[in-house]
Structure 1
Amino acid sequence: MTAVDDRRVHTAFENLEVPEGFKAELIRGEIVMMAGPDKVHNRIVQSVQDQIPADRWERLQTQDVAFPAEDSEPQPDLVVMEIGADDSPGRLVPGPAVTMLVEVVSKTSVHRDYVEKRSIYAAGRVAVYLIIDPFEAQCLVLTEPTGTGLSADYQSKRTRKFGDPVPLPIIGIELDTSGFGTLPPLRAAP
């Protein structure tokens, strides 16, 4: 993509009027729009937010994060950063201010959450990326980001089933997943 194209996409994204009940993200130069989440999704995000100590961590739901090197402005389900890491106004939190990002998988976000955002967040050096999958009833904790661009990834990967505690030592908690709701497994297309 050229610099002119980049500016056009960013201008279009900033001026986009998103219909009620939808959200939009900029993922590697592409504007992606999706329907709003269901109640299972929202309850999981709320549970995670409630377990993160508010005296040390700022916890922002659906906050846009800037990853300029990736030409991306994703809107994670939950952004966690140390209090005072970013006190600037505006809609964008700079990627380097973020300690943990949380995505709860939906029917339409599986590939984006597990593949695209994983490499974007790793390239942006987000210390912890937590993927919560209500279809598989599991959490994937990714730490130790490495690499750049499409090949960026996390060196450490831990999977925990719902009901098992999820250690998040950087945040200083063991996440209680026993109350997380589930959804029927997704079926692969024939």
Structure 2
Amino acid sequence: MSKNEESEMTTLAPEKTTSDVSPAPAESRALFDLLDSLDLPRGLRAEIIEGSTITVSPVASGKHQRTVRSLDLQLRPHLPAGYDAEPHLEIRMPELGKSVIPDLFVAPAEVLDTAESIVPPDDVLLVAEVVSPSNARSDRVVKLNIYAKAAIEYYLLIDPIAAQTTLFSKPSGGRYLDRVTRDFGKKLVIPEPFEFDLDTSQFRALS
């Protein structure tokens, strides 16, 4: 698999392929069992983001990771007391039949201090994704819907293709009611409990 490819392993009711259709509870349990049983080669990750499908994607590029790192460095001084930022753990949502590994998310440190590689969405305060050419639709549309349905307060979408950063907030009824978009180079206000101006000039656009 090349670094610009994204593959899908379709299992259990493959006709359900949209993010708006969640597997039945029994299907979800079987799908999560399959996810947990995967022995992926180094450099690959697996998520459940659309229907009854496990999506396997390659590691991100250096530019992508530099943008994630820049966000991490800017975010950490403004984290609420008792919270930390996490770039590796999986957020599992059994009630939605979804499993997502964000580029970065913020949750209570005690939740992240786990012997497992999985955390629930309940206490996740903010998730962030950096768009790459291979996953643009997933981040812009599919994961946007997932995070809203999981009622995660903030979704920060950094889009180097469009050279824009968007903050989605106020989840209600399975969607975000508010969104603010800034071109790279403009500051984006990240509200309480963070309360700081995100410097988007630090992000790397893809030309």
Gaps of 5+ in 1: 185-190
Match of 1:30 in 2: 53
Percentage of identical aligned residues: 29
1:24 positional shift: 1.0
Match of 2:203 in 1: 180
Q: After TM superposition, which residue ranges in structure 1, 4 or more long, deviate above 2 angstroms?
A: 1-8, 53-57, 82-89
Match of 1:77 in 2: 103
The answer to whether structure 1 residue 46 and structure 2 residue 72 are counterparts is no
| Cα 1:33–1:117 shift into 2, 3 Å | same
Q: From 19, 24, 37, give the equivalent of 1:15.
A: 37
- C-alpha separation in 2, matches of 1:51 and 1:12: 37
Matches within 5 A, 1:45-64: 45-53=68-76, 56=81, 57-64=83-90
State the Cα deviation string for residues 77-131 of structure 1 (Å, max 9, x = none).
0011243355443111210110000000011211111111111111111010000
Describe the SS at the equivalent of 1:84. Answer: helix
Q: Conserved in 1, the CA contact under 8 Å of 2:28 and 2:94?
A: no
| Cα 1:60–1:138 shift into 2, 3 Å | same
Matches within 5 A, 1:41-190: 41-53=64-76, 56=81, 57-147=83-173, 152-170=174-192, 171-184=194-207
TM-score by length of 1: 0.88
Q: Conserved in 2, the CA contact under 8 Å of 1:126 and 1:145?
A: yes
Aligned residues: 180
- C-alpha separation in 2, matches of 1:67 and 1:6: 10
Q: Which moved more, 1:71-80 or 1:164-173?
A: 164-173
Gaps of 5+ in 2: 1-22
Q: Conserved in 2, the CA contact under 8 Å of 1:163 and 1:177?
A: yes
TM-score by length of 2: 0.81
The two structures, once aligned, show a CA RMSD in angstroms of: 1.7
